[in-house]
Amino acid sequence: MSIYRVNKPRHPQANFHVKKNDEVVVLSGTQQGQRGKVLEVLRDRSRVIIEGVNFIKRHSRKTPQQPEGGIIEREGTLHISKVMLAAEYDKRKSSKTAVAPAQTSAGSEAAEKPAKKTAAKKK
C-alpha cells in the first residue's frame, strides 16, 4: 500500500449525520469528550474539522505571504464516525443516568449473596 493512498479521493458518501456549523462531541480517541463546532466537512475523505479539537502543529517556511514562518497550530481532521451531534449525545447521556439507579439496586442484591467457594487445587 502506497503512502499517498491516505489522501486519495474515494467515492464520496451522499450525506452525513453532521453538517457545517453543527455542535458535536468526539466519541473516541485522544480527544474523547471534547465539544466543538464543525468548521468543514470533507466528503471525499469522510472527515471533519472541528473548532478547538485535535490541534496539529504545522512547520512553515518563511515566504513573502508569511514573513514570520515558524510553527503554526491549527485544527486537524477527525473521521466522521468518531463524532456525534451534541444534542443527541446529551439526550443519550440523560436517558442512561435515569436508568442507572435501577441497575445499581440489582447490583447491590448481587453483592449481598455470598461468594462461591473455590475448590482447592489437587497436586
Residue 46, pLDDT above cutoff 80: yes
Residue 97 pLDDT more than 60?
Answer: yes
Specify if 83 maps to a domain: yes
The CATH number of whichever domain residue 38 belongs to comes to 2.30.30.30
Residues 6+ apart with CB under 8 A from 33: 25, 26
The answer to whether position 110 is within a domain reads no
Domain region containing 87: 3-61+69-92
Asked whether residue 44 is assigned to any structural domain, the reply reads yes
Sign of CA dihedral 7, 13, 15, 17: negative
Higher pLDDT, 116 or 23: 23
Least confident of 70-74, 106-110, 113-117: 106-110
Higher local confidence (pLDDT), 23 or 95: 23
pLDDT of 41 higher than 60: yes
3-state secondary structure of 123: coil
Taking all residues of the chain, what is their mean pLDDT, rounded to a whole number?
Answer: 82
Question: What is d(CA 61, CA 48) in angstroms, rounded to the nearest whole number?
Answer: 26
Domain count, the chain: 1
In a domain? residue 45: yes
Is pLDDT at 72 greater than 50 in this prediction? Answer: yes
Asked if residue 11 has pLDDT above 60, the reply is yes
Query: Is 107 part of any domain?
Result: no
Q: Which residue has the higher pLDDT, 102 or 63?
A: 63
Residue 14 lies in a domain: yes
Within-domain flag for 23: yes
Amino acid at 75: E
Question: Is position 19 within any domain?
Answer: yes
Band of pLDDT at residue 78, cut at 50, 70 and 90: very high
Rg (CA), the chain: 24
Query: Among 29, 21, 13, which Cα is nearest to 85's?
Result: 21
